[in-house]
Structure 1
């Protein structure tokens, strides 16, 4: 495990979130943070928006100073420190980490690939998949999803609408902050779930894009025996004991189960972040629940 490093980031600066969105720039991708030694709050880019309700006022975060003087923000928010675990908060890291894992043969059920066997962002019909790999006459199509979400139960308990909301405490990605202790990282042995967020319509999937990807992978694997299709979930936290497609989205949950039955590999891998910016990949997949007695399929 000590040698399975898939990413190592430059030294971080510890900070505390003051506002998101920033009071200076009202974009949901911008936050105000308090950095030790700085008399005023600083602008910080938050690539994961609210990171499923984790990036809220008072949150302890690890940020990287930006080298570009022309950037609107001075820092990038990449990790959230929950106390018992550090959560990866930059979704752009996931594909890079998966590629490193592929090069080292650390993705369960997939072979080790050389760099020239890996092509990133491969388009087939209406879908663009993260990786197309070729080895020994076989094609491997791999889609990657980052997972920062975890809770003691799934779907997580949402706070009462009648409860007075604090200014700046409601995220645009489906979680009201500060009210879900089960999502705060204070408990050990949580459920990692995907996806999370609002629906436009009650009968819609949470993520139409994620739904399109899993259905297309199933279609490909059913029609082409020479192609291996895999969906890799990168769980960027170390406090989870099981992964599942969320029961809060029965359409997507059923689609993932059906795809797995058709032969699509469902591969939830944990990445553990350290305070010094090292990301360690766990080669064995996390146990998963794709169907249980409560599911009606």
Structure 2
């Protein structure tokens, strides 16, 4: 995935109201930009860090600029626009970069499924194979040199695990795919210190047939790719 038009650089002043951030552009102008990430963004939004933002040509947007990447003073790159994550995973699936999920003929997105009225991020299909349901989670929390998910209590994430367990019990292929969007993260673990119930459900899910994978994105201000498998440590 390439960023086109090119991203522009700024310095973060502060993030607020979840969806907004104030930055100082390279030209010295103070801008208010949109933040698509609704999570805690722990370690991803430190004042003084470098922000890379895109600009929409839509005349109807109140805030035309969107926060795409953070570049920390420790030298880490982080994709903070969660809307990009699924597009990156789709690209990787279609290109065959996620080898464990290759060989399917059809990819569908946002498919309704499950008893709790969920939508799966992707469903893969191929003649002679069971449907493969893939739930994608973006991982950006780095603490003490380790990557964790989630960064806040997530009842929605718990529901998604229950749905995957149910899909696996019905004979489908069920996959939880952690997309690591932080250059400093080398493996992924459930954040028991943040959401113990999610961690418990994740272990149960794997024991009951849900496949748990993690792939790390290469990140820069010019583009991103999801190609490198990393370990999941439960």
TM-score by length of 1: 0.72
| Residues 238-268 of structure 1 deviation map (CA, whole Å, 9 limit, x = unaligned) | 2222211112122111111111111111011
Q: Which has the larger radius of gyration?
A: 1
Show the counterpart of 1:288: 232
Show the counterpart of 1:250: 196
Q: Is the contact between residue 217 and residue 228 of structure 2 (CA under 8 Å) also seen in structure 1? A: no
Show the counterpart of 1:42: 31
**How far, CA to CA, are the matches of 2:44 and 2:228 in structure 1?**
26
Q: Is 68-77 or 251-260 further displaced after alignment?
A: 68-77
Correspondence 1:54 to 2:49: no
Show structure 2 runs of 5+ residues with no match. none
Show the counterpart of 1:237: 182
Matches within 5 A, 1:1-297: 7-10=1-4, 11-21=6-16, 27-38=17-28, 40-49=29-38, 51-82=41-72, 83-114=74-105, 117-124=106-113, 125=115, 126-137=117-128, 138-152=130-144, 190-197=145-152, 206-224=153-171, 227-248=172-193, 249-276=195-222, 278-284=223-229, 286-290=230-234
Computed over aligned residues only, the root mean square deviation of the Cα atoms, in angstroms, reads: 1.6
Show the counterpart of 1:173: none
Relative CO higher for 1 or 2, CA cutoff 8 Å, sep ≥ 6?
1
Larger proportion of strand: 2
TM-score by length of 2: 0.91
**How far, CA to CA, are the matches of 1:239 and 1:19 in structure 2?**
22
Show structure 1 runs of 5+ residues with no match. 1-6, 22-26, 153-189, 198-205, 291-297
**How far, CA to CA, are the matches of 2:163 and 2:61 in structure 1?**
38
**How far, CA to CA, are the matches of 1:283 and 1:81 in structure 2?**
20
